[in-house]
Amino acid sequence: MVIYGVYIVSKSGGLIFNHDHNVPKVENEKVFNYPLDIKLSYENKKTVVVFGQRGGINVGHVLTAANGEPVTGCELPDGRNIMELLDKQENFPITLKFSRAKMTTNEKIFLASMFYPLFAIASQLSPEPRCSGIEVLEADTFRLYCYQTLTGVKFIIIAEPLQTGVEVLTKRVYELYADYALKNPFYSLEMPIRCELFDTSLQLLLELVEKSGANSA
């Protein structure tokens, strides 16, 4: 039973809260000899594996370190370009570390505002009037649950496909929001939620649900 993340999108479509809950870390370190037997490419400011998947290193994984030195974008700390480095035989053998790409906050904000029109389109495409918009979005590796309140705030939870009772959980998160975010006099509406009490009680709730199922929520 795993809940991957919780997102709250405001009435106007802005991401006001995100919490990565339980995303297992995937990291693989391996020694490579010349020539490199996987194809790397530099895209979206990351060096990613585009072909040649082996030993837990999958297509889409990001190069994070070379010989223990962190790689940011395609550069090592001393400014050398990692792609040029890997072209030269004298730099081998080399230890490369790959991990699953992490979403940056900017990307999350971007995706949240992308979900907003999708939700609206879904409700317009509906053959029946008064369609609720997307409530569950299903994929092979996760399910996205969305609960929109009457005031237009969306509570989105990403969970494992088998996780039950997430609909109930979205409503519990709404209660926490009503309690710990809105009753905080220093929180202004529509702004990102930075309330520690909210964070901690959300964390508690998620752990409880993961451990003992939705009934306890």
Binding site for another protein (CB under 8 A): 11, 119-120, 122-124, 130-133, 148-153, 171, 174-175, 177-180, 182-183, 189
Minimum distance from residue 159 beta carbon to another protein (Å): 20
Give the amino acid at 70: P
Minimum CB distance to another protein smaller for 93 or for 127: 127
Rounded distance between C-alpha atoms, residue 4 and residue 136, angstroms: 15
The residue length of the chain stands at: 217
Spell out the alpha helix ranges (H) of 7-100: 82-87
Q: How far is the CB of 172 from another protein (least distance, A)?
A: 8
Q: Indicate the SS3 state at residue 64.
A: strand
Q: Which is nearer to another protein, 102 or 183 (CB)?
A: 183
Kindly state the smallest distance separating residue 30's Cβ from another protein, in Å: 47
* Smallest distance, another protein to C-beta of residue 150, A: 5
Burial (CB < 10 A; 0-12, 13-18, 19+), residue 88, is exposed
Query: Are 30 and 49 within 8 A, CB to CB?
Result: no
Cβ-contact 202, 153 below 8 angstroms: no
CB of 17 to another protein, least distance (A): 14
Give the residue with the Cβ less far from another protein, 71 or 217: 217
Tokens of 126: 């509906």
Which C-beta is closer to another protein: that of 28 or that of 201? Answer: 201
**Residues linked to residue 200 through DSSP beta bridges, in sequence order:** none
Tokens of 27: 């990291």
Minimal distance, residue 179 CB to another protein, in Å = 5
Q: State both tokens at 100.
A: 């699953």
Q: Which is nearer to another protein, 98 or 145 (CB)?
A: 145
Please identify, using beta-carbon distances, which residue of 124 and 141 lies nearer to another protein.
Answer: 124
Instruction: Give the Cα-Cα-Cα angle 192, 148, 202 (nearest 5 degrees).
Output: 50
